[in-house]
Amino acid sequence: MSDPGVAVVIEDDADMRNLLEAVLLQSGFSVHTAGGGREGVEVVRRQLPNVVTVDVGLPDIDGFEVLRRIREISNAYVVMLTGRTEELDVLTAFHSGADDYITKPFRPRELRARIATMMRRPRHEATGATPPASVPPPALPQEDSILRYNGLTLDARTRTAAVRGAPLGLTRSEFDLLQDLMCAAGAVRTRSELVRVARGDFDRDDAYVSESDERSVEVHIGNLRRKLGDDPNSLSYLQTVRGVGYRLRQGTPEEPT
């Protein structure tokens, strides 16, 4: 079994911190811990981890600010942990760059599974050790790696995308979702299917999908639309199919005037 690398636990509650440390040690990580937000950011800066867990309710600075500071120095996978279940907290976490959001109390087995799923997908320009090999994405319907649609270009080999030559700064999840929707060529992709794409569970039709998972996809799609410059009144690439999911808009979008 390959070494998954380094993990950092940022948690003020000693019992929870010890539990998280034990779970990650059992998963093979070298684990470092911090009891506060500022200390945690410094530990991340020094240790260059692959995975970080962050408690939202820290005593000095809240977990969302910790996450924002981590994102300035690290591309590690970040899991937010909290006892709060408000939708605003979930959306704030994903907007701030979290890869997952788990409410307390949680099952250690679920945390291990979620982290293992994240690490199947390689993080570009990640710090720390290289994560394990990823699950391959669905085969492209073209012989080469280039997908094109009305000025939108996506290259699977270089994992780059552009609109009329202007590069799109997509996250890993945003890129995978866009690639999946372009490969579907107008077919509807359900929220559950897109959750599995975002998590890397391409071949896991039985994978558990929670409401939080589906909300995270909605956030990713919203961010993707913003970066694509989607406007319902003019140029639009992505279409919502109410109650089902999303698809690449059928037909040719209007060119902006």
The model's pLDDT over 123-159, given as tens digits with 9 standing for 90+, comes to 544 333 333 333 334 433 444 578 888 888 998 888 8
**Cα–Cα distance measured from residue 29 to residue 9, given in angstroms and rounded to the nearest whole number:** 11
16 in a domain, yes or no? yes
104 in a domain, yes or no? yes
Angle at 84 between CA 194 and CA 11, to 5 degrees: 100
136 in a domain, yes or no? no
- Cα of 218 vs its chain's centroid, Å: 12
Nearest CA-CA partner of 176 in 118, 115, 131, 89: 118
Query: Where residue 228 sits, what CATH number does that domain have?
Result: 1.10.10.10
Q: State residue 127's pLDDT score.
A: 38
Residue 255's alpha-carbon distances to 49, 94, 216, 251, in angstroms, are 44, 31, 30, 12
133 in a domain, yes or no? no
Q: Which amino acid is at 91?
A: L
Q: Do 106 and 150 belong together in one domain?
A: no
What is the number of other CB atoms lying within 10 angstroms of the CB of residue 112?
14
Q: Do 233 and 162 belong together in one domain?
A: yes
**For residue range 4-32, what is the model confidence (pLDDT) as tens digits?**
789 999 999 999 999 999 999 988 999 99
Q: Any idea which residue has 């307390």 for tokens?
A: 104
Residue at a domain's end among 69, 100, 118: 118
Q: Is the pTM of the predicted complex or chain greater than 0.75? A: no
Q: Do 156 and 201 belong together in one domain?
A: yes
Quote the number of domains for the chain.
2
* Residue ranges making up the domain that contains 212: 146-248
Q: Which amino acid is at 18?
A: N
**For residue range 214-225, what is the model confidence (pLDDT) as tens digits?**
888 888 888 888
**Cα–Cα distance measured from residue 69 to residue 55, given in angstroms and rounded to the nearest whole number:** 14
Report the pLDDT averaged over residues 65-90. 83
**Would the pLDDT of 51 be above 60?**
yes
Q: Do 154 and 200 belong together in one domain?
A: yes
Q: What is the dihedral of CA 195, 138, 237, 246, to 10 degrees?
A: -40
**Would the pLDDT of 110 be above 90?**
no
The pLDDT confidence band at residue 250, using thresholds 50, 70 and 90, is low
Q: State residue 193's pLDDT score.
A: 86
114 in a domain, yes or no? yes
